[in-house]
């Protein structure tokens, strides 16, 4: 039977057994030395460029489409980003005599004349004034602009995500629609700019 009183007295006098080494069998001196070594290694590596793993770099797929999304009359639409010249604020329009009924007029954008067309009418949405933003796109005859309620954000989707036979509202102009796709839990209509602006 172990006499705990004698054991405690012996430990107080310094005659007790040495303190056990820390887990893993490393003594405090060795642990201190390894910490110093780690510090030295850190100093040597500090400031050096670290290579980024190739897997972390996002690469575009050749079948991806970059689209600009926007809203007209609470409907979400998209067009290809490569056709977009600029998103601008509305400017005063100058009426063009004998122009096509879809032409609202022309406006000056930093000295460039932009023809404003009524995309709302082509998509059979009611016109209640001018929208908050204007999207200016490239066209063979010069820049063409159309007003929208809100420009959202560019998105990137795969071509296979576009449904070729969209189910759209009966009032919308089907010939100007390339398809529909889902993004951020919303249904977006992809427009055919050539047909929409012709």
Residue with tokens 């629609």: 177
Q: Which of 112, 129, 115 is nearest to 198 (CA)?
A: 115
Structure tokens at 67: 């689209």
Percent of the chain with pLDDT over 70: 64
E strands, 25-111, in order: 64-72, 75-80, 84-88, 103-109
Domain ranges of the chain: 71-197
* Mean pLDDT score, 156-166: 83
Cα gap 167→144, rounded to integer Å? 28
How many beta carbons lie within 10 A of that of residue 114, not counting itself? 24
As its CATH architecture, domain 71-197 has: Beta Barrel (2.40)
Q: pLDDT tens for residues 89-127?
A: 999 999 999 889 899 999 999 999 999 999 998 888 988
What is the three-class DSSP state of 75?
Answer: strand
Q: Is it the case that residue 41 has pLDDT exceeding 70? A: no
Q: Is it the case that residue 86 has pLDDT exceeding 80? A: yes
Cα gap 63→153, rounded to integer Å? 20
Confidence bin at 150 (pLDDT 50/70/90)? very high
Q: Which of 160, 152, 153 is nearest to 61 (CA)?
A: 160
Answer yes or no: are the C-beta atoms of 188 and 76 closer than 8 Å.
Answer: yes
Q: Tell me the pTM.
A: 0.65
Query: What pLDDT, on the 0 to 100 scale, is given for residue 55?
Result: 41
């Amino acid at each position: 039977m172990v006499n705990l009183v004698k054991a405690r007295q012996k430990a107080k006098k310094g005659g007790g057994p040495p303190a056990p080494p820390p887990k893993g069998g490393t003594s405090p001196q060795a642990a201190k030395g390894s910490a110093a070594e780690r510090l030295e290694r850190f100093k040597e590596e500090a400031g050096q460029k670290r290579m980024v793993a190739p897997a972390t770099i996002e690469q575009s797929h050749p079948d991806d489409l970059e689209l600009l999304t926007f809203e007209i009359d609470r409907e979400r639409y998209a067009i290809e980003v490569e056709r977009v010249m600029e998103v601008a604020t509305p400017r005063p329009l100058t009426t063009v005599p004998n122009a096509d009924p879809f032409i609202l007029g022309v406006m000056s954008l930093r000295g460039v004349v932009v023809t404003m067309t009524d995309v709302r009418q082509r998509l059979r949405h009611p016109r209640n004034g001018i929208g908050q933003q204007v999207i200016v796109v490239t066209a063979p005859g010069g820049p063409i602009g159309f007003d929208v309620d809100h420009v959202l954000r560019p998105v990137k989707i795969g071509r296979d995500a576009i449904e070729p036979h969209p189910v759209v509202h009966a009032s919308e102009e089907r010939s100007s629609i390339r398809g529909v796709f889902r993004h951020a839990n919303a249904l977006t209509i992809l427009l055919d700019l050539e047909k929409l602006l012709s």
